[in-house]
Structure 1
Amino acid sequence: MATPIEANILDVTGRWRLNRSLSDSLESTFALQGIPWIVRKIINWADLELQYIKLPVESDRTATKFSFKQTVRPGGFDTKNEYIVDGKKRTDTVPIFGEITMHCDYVGLHALTSGQLLGRDIESVDEEHAAIVEVVESENMGWVTTTVWGFETIDGERRLCKYNTTVKGDLVEKATMVHDYIGVPAE
């Protein structure tokens, strides 16, 4: 199903399925992050679906906020959370990673390098809103993953893409995740 034209980096509301044939394997990234072998195998084989819903602006907050649900079938590694796109660090616990610190914010194309986009081209809503940059850190495991979210046209279709760079000491792993739009959020 084609991504609706109204979907853009300011509003990623929808259900998205990982397109494994267009995405890189996350095996080496997960290994660097210390995820056990059997869990890596399940996740690399499973169907991964993401659901985002842009939440209404609250009177005490001007930042964009998304509810997030990740479903992994089979596997039981489902996650529910919220993304607040304001650049502020927050701590959370995620089943496969344990405690993490994360922050994300909008950036314009001028703030991104070709390396961060893994050499890819993304669309831009305006000068300040081309991507969401999400930084996740596991202090306990010693890694940092920077993920740039953007919309890219691949094989003639707009797709939500995430360009991941994970660093642990001197080791670096990079992977692109390409997500196909599969419909409106399920309530």
Structure 2
Amino acid sequence: MAAPATIDISNISGVWVMNKTLSDDTADVLAAQSIGWILRNSIGLATITLTIKHTTDLETGVEQIDINQSLSGLSGTVEARKLDWTDRPHEDYVFGKVVGKSRRVQLSEIDDEVLKKGWTEDTVAKGFIQSYVVNEEYQWTAEQVWGFMEVNGERRYARRVKL
């Protein structure tokens, strides 16, 4: 998801389209999350667009990220994430019933080496967005780290995922 230099991890508001030629194949991760074959393959063929509104509550100082994820040819999903590391239930037709929490973290707070690699200097300096989601029914946990990377000489909004 190409990004201008004027946008950084402090505010990721915008419309982001996933570039599947630069991204890893999601089929194995979706299969491990018990996503059915038809839906998994439909997602694999769809254009994924994230419309993100990133705000900060002026009274509490807590950041909120509202994401409308649309998939060409499929119904989209909506997520509301507060960066306060509080468990919140969520349910949608892709991932089912999950409990997730999100926060802002520094590189030193990320345990997994793969999740630490490849980020731009400004992302490392300003901190990452970390998301942690659990699906008890299908027994999976996903940790994501969001930020910006240089890919083929181009600045891109990116997410690394550990399942």
User: TM-score, normalising length from structure 1?
Assistant: 0.80
Q: Which piece of structure 1 moves more, 137-146 or 47-56?
A: 47-56
Shift in Å, 1:114? 2.2
User: What RMSD in Å do the two structures reach over aligned CA positions?
Assistant: 1.8
Which residue identity is paired with 1:132? I
User: Relative to 1, partners in 2 of residues 1:32 and 1:88: Cα closer, same or farther, differing over 3 Å?
Assistant: same
Query: Take 1:3 and 1:126, find their aligned partners in 2: how far apart are those partners?
Result: 13
Q: Secondary structure at the match of 2:114?
A: coil
Say which structure is richer in helix.
2
Shift in Å, 1:127? 6.7
Q: Quick one: which of 137, 140, 152 aligns to 1:140?
A: 137
- Give 2:91's aligned residue: 93
Query: Take 1:95 and 1:56, find their aligned partners in 2: how far apart are those partners?
Result: 28
Query: Take 1:95 and 1:42, find their aligned partners in 2: how far apart are those partners?
Result: 13
Q: Please show how residues 1-187 of structure 1 align to structure 2 within 5 Å.
A: 3-59=3-59, 61-76=60-75, 78-112=76-110, 113-117=112-116, 120-125=117-122, 129-166=126-163
Could you tell me the percent identity over the aligned residues? 24
Stretches of structure 1 lacking an aligned partner (at least 5 in a row): 167-187
Which residue identity is paired with 1:155? N
User: TM-score, normalising length from structure 2?
Assistant: 0.91
Instruction: Kindly provide the CA deviation profile for residues 72-91 of structure 1, in whole angstroms up to 9, marking residues without a partner as x.
Output: 00122x01221111111111
Shift in Å, 1:64? 0.7
